[in-house]
Amino acid sequence: MISSVLVANRGEIACRVFRTCREAGIRTVAVHSDADAHALHTRTADTAVRLPGSTPAETYLRGDLIVKAAVAAGADAVHPGYGFLSENADFARAVLDAGLVWIGPPPEAIEAMASKTRAKELMGLAPLGEVTEADLPVLVKAAAGGGGRGMRIVRRLADLDGALEGARAEAASAFGDGEVFVEPYVENGRHVEVQVLADTHGTVWTLGTRDCSLQRRHQKVIEEAPAPGLPEELERELHTLAVRAARAVDYVGAGTVEFLVADGRAHFLEMNTRLQVEHPVTEAVFGIDLVAEQIRIAEGHALAGTLPRPDGHAVEARLYAEDPARGWAPQTGILHRLAVPDGVRLDTGYTDGDEIGVHYDPMLAKVVAHAPTRAEALRRLAGALERTAVHGPATNRDLLVRSLRHEEFTAGRMDTGFYDRHLAALTDGAPADPHAPLAAALAAARGRSRFGGWRNLPSQPQTRRYAMAGEEHEVHYRHTRDGLTADGVRVVHADAALVVLEVDGVQRRFEVACYGDRVHVNATALTALPRFPDPTAQQAPGSLVAPMPGTVVRIAEGLEPGAAVAAGQPILWLEAMKMQHHITAPADGTLTSLPVTVGQQVQVGTLLAVVQQA
């Protein structure tokens, strides 16, 4: 019997595993980097062990340090979570060699499937060799790991070498393995996967299908179970192939076999020899705890009884600290508040006041809704997200809500090109509450005025300016003997946290929270603007500034001040949150300044380069 589990991971998945361990009466051990010294998973574990350093390479990718931590803390088992070393056969062997229980598949199974090139060979497939024009488009893909890191779509042969170089660097940074391969890229397919669960007694379960087609940068955004609209024959084929993959490597534990479905055919992608991020939708539909099953299987128990029957539909949305309208740029800063309504499941690694750092994936939480039908599950999740209070850096929350309500998605006609087609419409011109600036101004006025601020003599209205949805808004209000008033709107109530307005005879409530110059009014975020802008805050024309904190990992070869550049030409690469981001020339012109160097860490707004337009 396992009595103490170390989770070789961080954030949401560590907290998720700890929850099941606590319910089972199992003690928990966390490992943490210096950046995660006060993270939620560190605080909630029974015991925590420091891994010196902040980057993944120094900490969560150091299997030797993690095994030492498990031994030192008295753990008798290790759960790898997902990402980092979860699909590293050498790490699994090191855990077993230390006399610990490995809550995962045998190292040999990981080894066979962890390399996507070897996995394809095992399934009778092979990656492309020399790429020609006839092969385009192709996908450059990391042989190890997942999560969209180390992946590049190539549509021109001239871009292949750069894509290979970038994918290798990103894969090496994220997984400690820079091997990549090339395969045909299937346009507009659906990403469908099958959850498998296998014990040491020869039983393999397939727990339905999941659809994970809504993706950005090859990373999943919205997942659901079961995959809607699959013909019965195709679904049976997917289950048969998944069982074949599991049995081919004598698989044990929880795993996922992934496919791209196009033109009614299933194209094998890979087998993930670990728990998936999206496992909660399968848990909701089948009424089981996959982490508990992993632990029972690791203890040698057989899968109990018969395969559970599915019930209803479940949908999961990943809430990211990122700005979809700005190239999905990750965001950092303090998460002041995260509050999700009752009736949905929340898996998160953050609580109010935690800092979102630069070193790790920007996922804040997973929100899951389960209902008797798909339409009800979509409605429930969209409504819950719409009412979620998320105060801090920009997030993809509004995008998630609009995606869940998009006609193409609700009709089940989505594919992996969904955001390529619809991102502009889903982010540009997003409706903003026109009364939010007024509510913010009234809350600020009431919060800063102890005695109401009214005067006996007539006075000019007070004025405040806010930026909202990319536009500037100016609002006017007065302090009177009867309280605060605003043109055309009756103020029913106003204090620093709640404003009630009567608009055309209908009362509306606005919850207001202020953090410095950032103001949240219900689901709308605003920035308070100064009355007189600072003239020194202007940047020179053509200035390229850092859109996020990160590290300059590469500068285009031979590029120096004075060089001619073309619009869209990469100038340098920033690495942030385990992803590399291009900084490109905004127009044809001349590079007049390049004040940064490789290895330099930069903050949001740091000047990276200046391009003088031709």
Question: Alpha-carbon distance 486 to 501, whole Å?
Answer: 10
Residues 146 and 175 in one domain: yes
Burial class (CB in 10 A: 0-12, 13-18, 19+), 378: buried
Looking up residue 66, the CATH number of its domain turns out to be 3.40.50.20
Q: Which residue has the higher pLDDT, 148 or 271?
A: 271
Q: What angle do CA 458, 462, 467 make, to 5 degrees?
A: 165
**Percentage, residues of the chain above pLDDT 70:** 94
Q: What is the CA radius of gyration of the chain?
A: 26
State the pLDDT at residue 602. 87
Residues 509 and 568 in one domain: no
Instruction: State the angle between helix axes of 89-97 and 63-73 in degrees (0 to 180), rounded to the nearest 10.
Output: 30
Q: Which of 21-30, 406-415, 424-433, 568-577 has the lowest mean pLDDT?
A: 424-433
- Mapping DSSP to helix (H, G, I), strand (E, B) and coil, where does residue 110 land? helix
Question: Alpha-carbon distance 499 to 489, whole Å?
Answer: 12
- Give the pLDDT band of residue 348 (cuts 50, 70, 90): very high
- Give the pLDDT band of residue 145 (cuts 50, 70, 90): low
pLDDT in tens, 522-535: 989 999 988 765 55
On the question of pLDDT at 259 being above 50, the answer is yes
For residue 144, give the amino acid letter.
A
- Mapping DSSP to helix (H, G, I), strand (E, B) and coil, where does residue 524 land? strand
**Percentage, residues of the chain above pLDDT 90:** 66
For residue 76, give the amino acid letter.
D
Tokens, residue 278: 């999206």
- Give the pLDDT band of residue 450 (cuts 50, 70, 90): very low
Q: Is residue 51 part of a domain?
A: yes
CA nearest to 386, candidates 402, 371, 372: 402
CA nearest to 78, candidates 11, 135, 21, 138: 21
On the question of pLDDT at 34 being above 90, the answer is yes
Domain stop point among 393, 427, 461? 427
Terminal-residue alpha carbon distance, the chain: 71
How many CB atoms sit inside 10 A of residue 461's CB? Answer: 12
Residues 400 and 440 in one domain: no
Residues 542 and 394 in one domain: no
Question: Alpha-carbon distance 103 to 436, whole Å?
Answer: 50
Looking up residue 416, the CATH number of its domain turns out to be 3.30.470.20
Q: Which residues contact 596 (CB under 8 A, 6 or more apart)?
A: 552, 555, 572, 602, 606, 608, 609
Residue 417 region by backbone torsions, left for phi larger than 0, else alpha for psi between -120 and 50, else beta = alpha
Q: Is residue 227 part of a domain?
A: yes
Q: Is residue 123 part of a domain?
A: no
Mean pLDDT along residues 112-125: 77
Cis peptide before 226 (omega within 30 of 0): yes
- Give the pLDDT band of residue 146 (cuts 50, 70, 90): low
Mean pLDDT along residues 230-234: 97
Mean pLDDT along residues 362-371: 97
Tokens, residue 75: 């753990």
Residues 457 and 309 in one domain: no
Query: Is 274 an active-site residue?
Result: yes
Strand locations in 199-248 (E):
204-216, 219-225
Tokens, residue 568: 């869209």
Averaged pLDDT score across all residues of the chain: 90
Q: What DSSP letter does each residue of 135-156 carry, written as one string? A: G-SEEEEESS--TTTT-EEE-S
Residues 138 and 48 in one domain: no
- Mapping DSSP to helix (H, G, I), strand (E, B) and coil, where does residue 492 land? strand
Instruction: State the angle between helix axes of 397-404 and 418-427 in degrees (0 to 180), rounded to the nearest 10.
Output: 110
Residues 301 and 387 in one domain: yes
Owning domain of residue 52: 4-103
Q: Is residue 178 part of a domain?
A: yes
Domain stop point among 402, 427, 452? 427
Residues 388 and 461 in one domain: no
Q: Which residues contact 573 (CB under 8 A, 6 or more apart)?
A: 166, 552, 553, 554, 555, 580, 581, 582, 583
On the question of pLDDT at 537 being above 60, the answer is no
Looking up residue 490, the CATH number of its domain turns out to be 3.30.700.40
pLDDT in tens, 384-428: 999 999 999 999 999 999 999 999 999 999 999 999 999 999 998
On the question of pLDDT at 92 being above 60, the answer is yes
- Give the pLDDT band of residue 124 (cuts 50, 70, 90): confident
Residues 250 and 307 in one domain: yes
Residue 223 region by backbone torsions, left for phi larger than 0, else alpha for psi between -120 and 50, else beta = beta
Instruction: State the angle between helix axes of 290-298 and 11-23 in degrees (0 to 180), rounded to the nearest 10.
Output: 70
Strands 579-584 and 570-576: antiparallel
- Give the pLDDT band of residue 451 (cuts 50, 70, 90): very low
- Give the pLDDT band of residue 601 (cuts 50, 70, 90): confident
- Paired with 601 in beta bridges are 551
Tokens, residue 463: 């004025």
Mean pLDDT along residues 310-324: 97
Q: Is residue 255 part of a domain?
A: yes
Looking up residue 145, the CATH number of its domain turns out to be 3.30.1490.20
State the pLDDT at residue 546. 86
**pTM score, whole prediction:** 0.84
Q: Which residue has the higher pLDDT, 356 or 478?
A: 356
Asked if residues 519 and 467 have their Cβ atoms less than 8 Å apart, the reply is no
Q: Is residue 112 part of a domain?
A: no
Q: Which of 116-120, 200-204, 564-568, 599-603 has the lowest mean pLDDT?
A: 116-120
Which of 10, 27, 190, 274 is catalytic? The answer is 274
Domain stop point among 397, 427, 457? 427
Q: How many domains does the chain have?
A: 5
Residues 237 and 335 in one domain: yes
Looking up residue 565, the CATH number of its domain turns out to be 2.40.50.100
On the question of pLDDT at 232 being above 50, the answer is yes
Q: Which residue has the higher pLDDT, 179 or 109?
A: 109
Residues 57 and 28 in one domain: yes
Q: Is residue 110 part of a domain?
A: no
Residues 372 and 440 in one domain: no
Cis peptide before 137 (omega within 30 of 0): yes
- Give the pLDDT band of residue 324 (cuts 50, 70, 90): very high
Q: Is residue 116 part of a domain?
A: no
pLDDT in tens, 264-311: 889 888 899 999 999 999 999 999 999 999 999 999 999 988 899 999
